[in-house]
Amino acid sequence: MKKRKRRIIFGIVIFTVLMLLVCFNFDSLSGLIKQNSKTNKPAVTVEGVKYDELQIHFLELGNKYTGDSTFIKAGDIDILIDAGSRKSSSDSIKEYVDDYCTDGKLEYVIATHAHQDHIAGFVGNSSASAKNHKGETVEKTGLFYYYDIGTLIDFSLTSSTSQLYEDYLAAREYAVNKGTVHYTAKECFNEEKSAKRIFDLGNGIELEILYNYYYFNTSDDENNYSVCTMINYNNHHFMLTGDLELQGEEKMAEYYNGSEGKKLPHVDLFKAGHHGSKTSSNDCLLSKITPDICCVCCCAGGSEYTSNYNNVFPTQEFINRIAKYTDQVYVTSYYNEKELKFKPLNGNIIVSCNGKEIALAATNNTTKLKDTAWFNEIVYIDKNKNICSGKGKEDFFTVESKDVTPVPRRVWTE
Protein backbone atom coordinates (compact mmCIF):
# COMPACT_ATOMS: atom_id res chain seq x y z
CA MET A 1 0.00 0.00 0.00
CA LYS A 2 2.81 2.39 0.92
CA LYS A 3 4.63 1.57 -2.33
CA ARG A 4 1.50 2.32 -4.30
CA LYS A 5 1.14 5.69 -2.54
CA ARG A 6 4.80 6.49 -3.26
CA ARG A 7 4.27 5.63 -6.94
CA ILE A 8 1.20 7.89 -7.07
CA ILE A 9 3.09 10.76 -5.39
CA PHE A 10 6.07 10.22 -7.69
CA GLY A 11 3.75 10.31 -10.72
CA ILE A 12 2.18 13.55 -9.53
CA VAL A 13 5.63 15.13 -9.07
CA ILE A 14 6.74 14.06 -12.58
CA PHE A 15 3.51 15.38 -14.09
CA THR A 16 3.95 18.70 -12.26
CA VAL A 17 7.55 19.07 -13.45
CA LEU A 18 6.56 18.35 -17.04
CA MET A 19 3.80 20.96 -16.86
CA LEU A 20 6.27 23.52 -15.51
CA LEU A 21 8.65 22.80 -18.37
CA VAL A 22 5.88 23.50 -20.85
CA CYS A 23 4.58 26.64 -19.18
CA PHE A 24 7.78 28.48 -18.27
CA ASN A 25 10.45 30.09 -20.47
CA PHE A 26 13.66 28.13 -20.85
CA ASP A 27 16.72 28.98 -22.85
CA SER A 28 16.82 27.27 -26.24
CA LEU A 29 20.39 26.22 -25.68
CA SER A 30 19.23 23.87 -22.94
CA GLY A 31 17.34 21.92 -25.59
CA LEU A 32 13.94 23.05 -24.30
CA ILE A 33 11.32 25.10 -26.14
CA LYS A 34 11.29 28.77 -25.29
CA GLN A 35 7.84 30.34 -25.42
CA ASN A 36 7.00 33.78 -26.81
CA SER A 37 5.03 35.62 -24.11
CA LYS A 38 2.92 37.47 -26.66
CA THR A 39 1.93 34.72 -29.07
CA ASN A 40 2.54 31.61 -26.91
CA LYS A 41 4.29 30.13 -29.92
CA PRO A 42 7.90 28.90 -29.99
CA ALA A 43 10.20 31.92 -30.12
CA VAL A 44 12.39 32.36 -33.16
CA THR A 45 15.61 33.14 -31.39
CA VAL A 46 18.34 30.78 -30.26
CA GLU A 47 20.70 32.79 -28.06
CA GLY A 48 24.46 32.65 -28.25
CA VAL A 49 24.63 30.91 -31.64
CA LYS A 50 25.86 32.09 -35.05
CA TYR A 51 24.73 30.29 -38.18
CA ASP A 52 27.14 30.54 -41.10
CA GLU A 53 24.58 30.62 -43.92
CA LEU A 54 23.46 34.21 -43.22
CA GLN A 55 24.81 36.63 -40.65
CA ILE A 56 23.78 40.25 -40.07
CA HIS A 57 26.19 42.23 -37.89
CA PHE A 58 25.30 45.58 -36.30
CA LEU A 59 28.61 47.22 -35.51
CA GLU A 60 29.97 49.42 -32.77
CA LEU A 61 31.86 52.27 -34.39
CA GLY A 62 34.78 52.94 -32.05
CA ASN A 63 33.58 56.23 -30.57
CA LYS A 64 30.85 57.88 -28.49
CA TYR A 65 28.85 59.01 -31.51
CA THR A 66 25.70 57.40 -32.86
CA GLY A 67 25.79 56.03 -36.40
CA ASP A 68 25.05 53.05 -38.60
CA SER A 69 27.17 50.32 -40.09
CA THR A 70 25.75 46.89 -40.84
CA PHE A 71 27.85 44.06 -42.25
CA ILE A 72 26.08 41.11 -43.85
CA LYS A 73 27.67 37.77 -44.68
CA ALA A 74 25.58 35.64 -47.07
CA GLY A 75 27.67 32.59 -47.82
CA ASP A 76 30.67 33.97 -49.72
CA ILE A 77 28.92 37.29 -50.44
CA ASP A 78 29.97 40.30 -48.34
CA ILE A 79 27.64 43.29 -47.98
CA LEU A 80 28.10 46.56 -46.11
CA ILE A 81 25.22 48.96 -45.44
CA ASP A 82 26.44 52.39 -44.27
CA ALA A 83 29.69 53.38 -42.62
CA GLY A 84 29.11 55.89 -39.83
CA SER A 85 29.68 57.56 -37.52
CA ARG A 86 32.87 59.54 -38.13
CA LYS A 87 35.72 59.29 -40.66
CA SER A 88 37.83 57.52 -38.04
CA SER A 89 35.19 54.79 -37.77
CA SER A 90 36.63 53.30 -40.96
CA ASP A 91 39.38 51.77 -38.84
CA SER A 92 36.94 50.09 -36.43
CA ILE A 93 34.80 48.82 -39.31
CA LYS A 94 37.80 47.42 -41.22
CA GLU A 95 39.14 45.66 -38.15
CA TYR A 96 35.80 43.91 -37.63
CA VAL A 97 34.89 43.18 -41.25
CA ASP A 98 38.35 41.83 -42.15
CA ASP A 99 37.70 38.84 -39.88
CA TYR A 100 34.92 37.82 -42.27
CA CYS A 101 35.79 39.40 -45.62
CA THR A 102 39.08 37.67 -46.28
CA ASP A 103 39.43 38.46 -50.00
CA GLY A 104 39.22 42.25 -49.69
CA LYS A 105 36.08 42.54 -51.80
CA LEU A 106 32.65 43.75 -50.77
CA GLU A 107 30.27 42.43 -53.40
CA TYR A 108 27.57 44.96 -52.42
CA VAL A 109 27.73 48.28 -50.60
CA ILE A 110 24.74 50.46 -49.77
CA ALA A 111 24.94 54.08 -48.60
CA THR A 112 21.46 54.89 -47.32
CA HIS A 113 21.61 58.70 -47.22
CA ALA A 114 24.02 61.61 -47.14
CA HIS A 115 24.39 62.19 -43.39
CA GLN A 116 27.79 62.03 -41.72
CA ASP A 117 26.77 59.27 -39.31
CA HIS A 118 26.07 56.97 -42.29
CA ILE A 119 28.76 57.78 -44.89
CA ALA A 120 31.81 59.24 -43.10
CA GLY A 121 33.61 55.89 -42.90
CA PHE A 122 33.37 55.44 -46.66
CA VAL A 123 35.51 58.58 -46.99
CA GLY A 124 37.94 58.20 -44.11
CA ASN A 125 40.82 60.52 -43.32
CA SER A 126 43.62 61.71 -45.58
CA SER A 127 46.83 59.93 -44.64
CA ALA A 128 50.20 59.42 -46.26
CA SER A 129 50.27 55.96 -44.70
CA ALA A 130 46.82 54.86 -45.89
CA LYS A 131 46.82 51.39 -47.46
CA ASN A 132 44.22 49.31 -49.25
CA HIS A 133 43.62 45.63 -48.46
CA LYS A 134 46.46 44.70 -50.83
CA GLY A 135 48.91 46.90 -48.94
CA GLU A 136 49.06 49.47 -51.73
CA THR A 137 49.28 53.16 -50.83
CA VAL A 138 45.98 55.01 -51.32
CA GLU A 139 44.76 58.53 -50.76
CA LYS A 140 42.55 58.02 -47.70
CA THR A 141 41.66 55.50 -45.01
CA GLY A 142 38.03 55.23 -46.14
CA LEU A 143 36.35 51.97 -47.06
CA PHE A 144 35.91 52.99 -50.70
CA TYR A 145 39.69 53.20 -50.91
CA TYR A 146 40.43 50.12 -48.84
CA TYR A 147 38.11 47.48 -50.33
CA ASP A 148 37.28 46.44 -53.85
CA ILE A 149 33.59 47.25 -54.28
CA GLY A 150 31.47 45.20 -56.68
CA THR A 151 28.11 47.01 -56.76
CA LEU A 152 27.37 50.28 -54.97
CA ILE A 153 23.77 51.36 -54.37
CA ASP A 154 23.08 54.76 -52.86
CA PHE A 155 20.44 57.43 -52.34
CA SER A 156 18.60 58.81 -55.36
CA LEU A 157 18.16 62.34 -53.98
CA THR A 158 19.86 64.60 -51.48
CA SER A 159 19.85 68.21 -50.42
CA SER A 160 23.27 67.94 -48.81
CA THR A 161 25.89 70.58 -49.63
CA SER A 162 28.39 69.58 -46.95
CA GLN A 163 32.09 69.08 -47.55
CA LEU A 164 31.70 65.51 -46.37
CA TYR A 165 29.17 64.88 -49.14
CA GLU A 166 31.63 66.30 -51.67
CA ASP A 167 34.28 63.99 -50.24
CA TYR A 168 31.83 61.09 -50.55
CA LEU A 169 31.30 61.87 -54.23
CA ALA A 170 35.09 61.90 -54.77
CA ALA A 171 35.44 58.57 -52.95
CA ARG A 172 32.59 57.08 -54.98
CA GLU A 173 34.22 58.25 -58.21
CA TYR A 174 37.47 56.62 -57.09
CA ALA A 175 35.66 53.31 -56.60
CA VAL A 176 33.82 53.57 -59.93
CA ASN A 177 37.08 54.27 -61.75
CA LYS A 178 38.43 51.05 -60.26
CA GLY A 179 35.50 49.02 -61.57
CA THR A 180 32.63 49.48 -59.11
CA VAL A 181 29.16 49.40 -60.70
CA HIS A 182 27.06 52.25 -59.30
CA TYR A 183 23.25 52.40 -59.13
CA THR A 184 20.82 54.61 -57.26
CA ALA A 185 17.99 53.08 -55.27
CA LYS A 186 15.55 54.52 -57.82
CA GLU A 187 17.35 52.75 -60.66
CA CYS A 188 17.26 49.49 -58.71
CA PHE A 189 13.59 49.74 -57.83
CA ASN A 190 12.67 50.61 -61.43
CA GLU A 191 15.21 48.09 -62.79
CA GLU A 192 16.87 50.72 -64.99
CA LYS A 193 20.37 50.55 -66.51
CA SER A 194 20.70 46.81 -65.82
CA ALA A 195 20.00 47.40 -62.12
CA LYS A 196 17.83 44.94 -60.21
CA ARG A 197 15.17 45.31 -57.56
CA ILE A 198 16.09 41.90 -56.17
CA PHE A 199 19.67 40.65 -56.20
CA ASP A 200 20.17 36.88 -55.96
CA LEU A 201 22.88 36.15 -53.40
CA GLY A 202 22.69 32.38 -53.89
CA ASN A 203 21.40 29.52 -51.75
CA GLY A 204 17.92 31.07 -51.55
CA ILE A 205 19.12 34.41 -50.10
CA GLU A 206 18.06 37.70 -51.71
CA LEU A 207 18.88 41.37 -51.29
CA GLU A 208 15.73 43.37 -52.09
CA ILE A 209 15.50 47.13 -52.59
CA LEU A 210 12.18 48.19 -51.06
CA TYR A 211 9.89 50.97 -52.22
CA ASN A 212 10.43 54.46 -50.85
CA TYR A 213 8.31 57.37 -52.08
CA TYR A 214 11.32 59.62 -51.58
CA TYR A 215 13.41 57.87 -54.20
CA PHE A 216 11.20 59.81 -56.59
CA ASN A 217 10.07 62.89 -54.66
CA THR A 218 11.81 65.58 -52.63
CA SER A 219 11.54 65.86 -48.87
CA ASP A 220 12.37 68.55 -46.34
CA ASP A 221 14.05 65.85 -44.25
CA GLU A 222 17.23 64.23 -45.57
CA ASN A 223 16.48 61.08 -43.59
CA ASN A 224 13.53 60.29 -45.84
CA TYR A 225 15.86 59.68 -48.79
CA SER A 226 17.14 56.53 -47.08
CA VAL A 227 17.65 53.39 -49.16
CA CYS A 228 15.38 50.72 -47.64
CA THR A 229 16.26 47.05 -47.93
CA MET A 230 15.03 43.57 -47.08
CA ILE A 231 17.15 40.44 -46.84
CA ASN A 232 15.03 37.40 -47.69
CA TYR A 233 16.02 33.82 -46.87
CA ASN A 234 13.37 31.18 -47.48
CA ASN A 235 10.46 32.38 -45.35
CA HIS A 236 12.62 34.63 -43.16
CA HIS A 237 12.88 38.39 -43.63
CA PHE A 238 15.25 41.03 -42.26
CA MET A 239 14.36 44.71 -42.77
CA LEU A 240 16.55 47.81 -42.67
CA THR A 241 15.19 51.31 -43.38
CA GLY A 242 18.11 53.62 -42.58
CA ASP A 243 16.80 56.80 -40.97
CA LEU A 244 13.40 56.78 -42.70
CA GLU A 245 11.01 59.08 -40.84
CA LEU A 246 7.26 59.03 -40.23
CA GLN A 247 6.40 60.53 -43.64
CA GLY A 248 8.46 57.90 -45.43
CA GLU A 249 7.07 55.07 -43.31
CA GLU A 250 3.51 56.21 -44.01
CA LYS A 251 4.18 56.28 -47.75
CA MET A 252 5.78 52.83 -47.57
CA ALA A 253 2.82 51.42 -45.64
CA GLU A 254 0.46 52.98 -48.18
CA TYR A 255 2.36 51.39 -51.08
CA TYR A 256 2.51 47.94 -49.47
CA ASN A 257 -1.25 47.85 -48.89
CA GLY A 258 -1.79 44.29 -50.05
CA SER A 259 -3.16 45.15 -53.47
CA GLU A 260 -1.54 43.73 -56.62
CA GLY A 261 0.65 41.52 -54.45
CA LYS A 262 2.28 44.50 -52.74
CA LYS A 263 2.61 43.41 -49.15
CA LEU A 264 5.27 43.53 -46.48
CA PRO A 265 5.89 40.22 -44.71
CA HIS A 266 6.22 39.54 -41.03
CA VAL A 267 9.91 40.15 -40.31
CA ASP A 268 12.23 38.21 -38.06
CA LEU A 269 14.40 41.29 -37.64
CA PHE A 270 13.83 45.04 -37.92
CA LYS A 271 16.71 47.45 -37.51
CA ALA A 272 15.13 50.33 -35.62
CA GLY A 273 14.63 53.35 -37.83
CA HIS A 274 16.80 56.40 -37.11
CA HIS A 275 18.59 54.89 -34.12
CA GLY A 276 15.40 54.50 -32.07
CA SER A 277 14.26 58.11 -32.46
CA LYS A 278 10.79 59.37 -31.57
CA THR A 279 10.12 60.08 -35.26
CA SER A 280 10.77 56.59 -36.70
CA SER A 281 9.62 52.99 -36.17
CA ASN A 282 5.99 54.10 -36.18
CA ASP A 283 2.89 51.93 -35.82
CA CYS A 284 1.95 52.40 -39.48
CA LEU A 285 5.00 50.30 -40.39
CA LEU A 286 5.40 48.13 -37.30
CA SER A 287 1.81 46.89 -37.55
CA LYS A 288 2.59 45.49 -41.01
CA ILE A 289 5.89 43.80 -40.21
CA THR A 290 5.26 42.74 -36.55
CA PRO A 291 8.98 42.18 -35.85
CA ASP A 292 10.33 39.43 -33.61
CA ILE A 293 13.71 41.09 -33.00
CA CYS A 294 14.65 44.77 -33.08
CA CYS A 295 18.26 45.97 -33.08
CA VAL A 296 19.08 49.60 -32.33
CA CYS A 297 22.33 51.13 -33.57
CA CYS A 298 23.09 54.03 -31.25
CA CYS A 299 25.10 55.27 -28.31
CA ALA A 300 22.26 55.05 -25.81
CA GLY A 301 21.82 58.00 -23.46
CA GLY A 302 24.34 60.30 -25.13
CA SER A 303 23.49 64.01 -25.55
CA GLU A 304 25.02 64.25 -29.05
CA TYR A 305 21.76 65.36 -30.69
CA THR A 306 19.67 66.51 -27.72
CA SER A 307 19.82 66.88 -23.96
CA ASN A 308 16.10 66.16 -23.54
CA TYR A 309 15.70 63.13 -21.30
CA ASN A 310 12.85 61.64 -23.34
CA ASN A 311 14.46 62.14 -26.73
CA VAL A 312 18.00 60.82 -26.33
CA PHE A 313 18.38 57.51 -28.16
CA PRO A 314 16.61 55.13 -27.81
CA THR A 315 13.61 57.30 -27.02
CA GLN A 316 10.74 56.46 -24.72
CA GLU A 317 8.29 56.92 -27.61
CA PHE A 318 10.16 54.34 -29.67
CA ILE A 319 10.15 51.92 -26.72
CA ASN A 320 6.41 52.40 -26.21
CA ARG A 321 5.75 51.48 -29.84
CA ILE A 322 8.14 48.54 -30.26
CA ALA A 323 7.05 46.99 -26.93
CA LYS A 324 3.66 46.19 -28.48
CA TYR A 325 5.36 43.69 -30.79
CA THR A 326 8.45 42.28 -29.09
CA ASP A 327 10.63 42.47 -26.02
CA GLN A 328 13.64 41.21 -27.98
CA VAL A 329 15.20 44.67 -28.35
CA TYR A 330 18.99 45.00 -28.36
CA VAL A 331 21.31 48.04 -28.48
CA THR A 332 24.92 48.27 -29.58
CA SER A 333 26.44 50.91 -27.25
CA TYR A 334 25.69 53.28 -24.41
CA TYR A 335 27.28 56.46 -23.08
CA ASN A 336 28.84 56.03 -19.66
CA GLU A 337 28.09 59.27 -17.84
CA LYS A 338 30.71 58.70 -15.13
CA GLU A 339 33.61 57.80 -17.42
CA LEU A 340 32.42 60.13 -20.22
CA LYS A 341 32.94 57.58 -22.96
CA PHE A 342 31.03 54.95 -24.89
CA LYS A 343 30.83 51.36 -23.74
CA PRO A 344 29.17 48.30 -25.24
CA LEU A 345 25.61 47.61 -24.16
CA ASN A 346 25.14 44.43 -26.18
CA GLY A 347 28.21 45.30 -28.28
CA ASN A 348 28.38 44.12 -31.87
CA ILE A 349 25.08 42.31 -32.41
CA ILE A 350 24.87 39.31 -34.77
CA VAL A 351 21.53 37.98 -35.99
CA SER A 352 21.93 34.85 -38.11
CA CYS A 353 19.81 32.29 -39.91
CA ASN A 354 20.30 28.77 -41.26
CA GLY A 355 17.16 28.94 -43.37
CA LYS A 356 15.03 27.47 -40.59
CA GLU A 357 16.02 29.02 -37.25
CA ILE A 358 17.07 32.49 -36.16
CA ALA A 359 19.95 32.98 -33.73
CA LEU A 360 21.25 36.00 -31.85
CA ALA A 361 24.73 36.56 -30.48
CA ALA A 362 26.64 39.62 -29.31
CA THR A 363 30.20 40.46 -28.36
CA ASN A 364 29.26 41.78 -24.90
CA ASN A 365 26.04 40.05 -23.84
CA THR A 366 22.58 39.13 -25.10
CA THR A 367 20.62 40.89 -22.36
CA LYS A 368 17.38 42.42 -23.60
CA LEU A 369 17.28 46.22 -23.40
CA LYS A 370 14.48 46.22 -20.84
CA ASP A 371 16.56 44.02 -18.50
CA THR A 372 19.80 46.03 -18.65
CA ALA A 373 21.11 48.07 -15.74
CA TRP A 374 21.29 51.08 -18.07
CA PHE A 375 17.57 50.89 -18.87
CA ASN A 376 16.50 50.50 -15.24
CA GLU A 377 18.79 52.96 -13.48
CA ILE A 378 17.69 56.26 -11.95
CA VAL A 379 18.80 59.48 -13.68
CA TYR A 380 18.35 63.12 -12.78
CA ILE A 381 16.63 65.78 -14.86
CA ASP A 382 16.00 69.50 -14.46
CA LYS A 383 12.67 71.31 -14.78
CA ASN A 384 13.02 71.30 -18.58
CA LYS A 385 13.55 67.52 -18.59
CA ASN A 386 17.21 67.82 -19.60
CA ILE A 387 19.78 65.29 -18.43
CA CYS A 388 22.62 67.80 -18.79
CA SER A 389 22.97 71.52 -19.43
CA GLY A 390 22.73 71.33 -23.22
CA LYS A 391 23.08 69.41 -26.47
CA GLY A 392 26.44 67.70 -26.72
CA LYS A 393 27.34 68.57 -23.13
CA GLU A 394 28.88 66.05 -20.76
CA ASP A 395 27.90 67.59 -17.42
CA PHE A 396 25.18 65.06 -16.70
CA PHE A 397 23.10 65.85 -13.63
CA THR A 398 23.62 63.75 -10.51
CA VAL A 399 21.99 63.41 -7.12
CA GLU A 400 24.22 66.28 -5.99
CA SER A 401 23.01 68.68 -8.70
CA LYS A 402 20.63 71.47 -7.68
CA ASP A 403 16.96 71.55 -8.64
CA VAL A 404 16.87 68.10 -10.22
CA THR A 405 14.35 65.27 -10.01
CA PRO A 406 15.15 61.54 -9.96
CA VAL A 407 13.35 59.52 -12.65
CA PRO A 408 13.73 56.03 -14.11
CA ARG A 409 15.88 56.07 -17.23
CA ARG A 410 13.22 54.28 -19.29
CA VAL A 411 10.00 52.41 -18.62
CA TRP A 412 8.92 49.25 -20.43
CA THR A 413 5.23 49.34 -21.29
CA GLU A 414 3.32 46.57 -23.07
Q: What is the mean pLDDT of the chain?
A: 91
What distance in Å separates the CA atoms of residue 96 and residue 63, rounded to the nearest whole number?
Answer: 14
Q: Is the pLDDT of residue 33 over 80?
A: no
Q: What is the pLDDT of residue 83?
A: 98
Q: Is the pLDDT of residue 220 over 80?
A: yes
- Mean local confidence (pLDDT), 165-176: 98
**pLDDT tens sequence across 337-352:** 989 999 999 999 999 9
Range of lowest pLDDT (8-22, 149-163, 318-332): 8-22
Strands 236-240 and 269-271: what pairing? Answer: parallel
What DSSP line would sit under 354-381, residue for residue?
-SS-EEEEESS----GGGSHHHHSEEEE
Q: How large a percentage of the chain has pLDDT more than 70? A: 89
Of 9 and 256, the structure prediction assigns the larger pLDDT to 256
Strands 405-408 and 378-381: what pairing? Answer: antiparallel
Predicted confidence band of residue 390 (pLDDT cuts 50, 70, 90): very high
Predicted confidence band of residue 261 (pLDDT cuts 50, 70, 90): confident
Predicted confidence band of residue 175 (pLDDT cuts 50, 70, 90): very high
- End-to-end CA gap in the chain: 52
Q: What is the pLDDT of residue 279?
A: 97
Of 414 and 369, the structure prediction assigns the larger pLDDT to 369
Q: Is the pLDDT of residue 291 over 50?
A: yes
**pLDDT tens sequence across 77-117:** 999 999 999 999 999 999 999 999 999 999 999 999 999 99
The Cβ-side half-sphere exposure at 130, using a 13 Å CA radius, reads 20
- Mean local confidence (pLDDT), 284-301: 98
What DSSP line would sit under 218-272, residue for residue?
--SSGGGG---EEEEETTEEEEE-TT--HHHHHHHHHHSBSGGG-BPPP-SEEEP
Q: What is the pLDDT of residue 38?
A: 42
Could you tell me which of 78, 151, 163 has the C-alpha nearest to residue 119? 163
Predicted confidence band of residue 44 (pLDDT cuts 50, 70, 90): low
- Mean local confidence (pLDDT), 238-255: 98
Residues whose CB falls within 8 Å of the CB of residue 334, separated by 6 or more in sequence, listed in order: 299, 300, 301, 302, 342, 343, 344, 345, 374
Of 2 and 104, the structure prediction assigns the larger pLDDT to 104
- Mean local confidence (pLDDT), 35-43: 40
What distance in Å separates the CA atoms of residue 32 and residue 250, rounded to the nearest whole number?
Answer: 40
Predicted confidence band of residue 21 (pLDDT cuts 50, 70, 90): very low
Region of residue 197 (left: phi > 0; alpha: psi -120 to 50; beta: else): alpha
What distance in Å separates the CA atoms of residue 239 and residue 57, rounded to the nearest whole number?
Answer: 13
This prediction has a pTM of 0.90
Could you tell me which of 97, 69, 106 has the C-alpha nearest to residue 84? 69
Q: What is the pLDDT of residue 28?
A: 33
Q: What is the pLDDT of residue 388?
A: 97
